[in-house]
Amino acid sequence: MPNKNKNKGKSFEREFAKHLISVFGLSFNRVPNSGSYTGGQNSFRNNQLSTEQQLSFEGDTIVPMELKNFRFECKFYNNIGWQKLFDFNGESHLNKWITQAKEGLRKYWFVVFKVNNMGRYIVFNKDLMSKYKCGTNYLIYMNDYCIISLKDFFEKNKEILLEMGKE
């Protein structure tokens, strides 16, 4: 029987890839078996793969060469412990997602998450805020990360991201 939560996650990964296509006009796709081939308990497989092969399984979105330096982790949850964003240890799911995104080979990472009836959000390293157009509505999380609404982020930062992709 199909796993409802996995299907929900896969649908958001496809939705996000389509969003990136509409913004950049480039090819983005969901990574087949995203997370399951080299993620988590299967990370040992990375020892058997070339760097190019590892990059093809990294994250949840296959990115075009123009954005080869970027990794996207996509998550879709029913609820998140919003109040825990302000706790000393933070929100455990979000912490795990950030750790997962940072473990990759790519220079830049994003955690993109959707919460039922709450919206879509993006998390990235706070040090990059000086490069991005973030506006004034954001949350600094755990002193190192920025959380903002996904709405219009890529549209506002398209040229900046394409330039960073060339680095």
Domain boundaries, the chain: 4-165
Q: What is the pLDDT of residue 40?
A: 65
- Four-way CATH pick for 4-165: 3.10.310, 3.40.50, 1.10.10, 2.60.120: 3.10.310
Q: Structure tokens of 60?
A: 């949840």
Better-scored residue on pLDDT, 36 or 87:
87
Residue found under tokens 């506006």: 135
**Beta carbons within 8 Å of 112's beta carbon, 6+ residues apart:** 16, 72, 73, 74, 75, 120, 121, 122, 123, 150
CA torsion through residues 85, 90, 95, 96, sign: negative
What does the pLDDT look like over 18-56, one tens digit per residue?
999 999 999 999 988 665 566 666 677 767 777 777 676
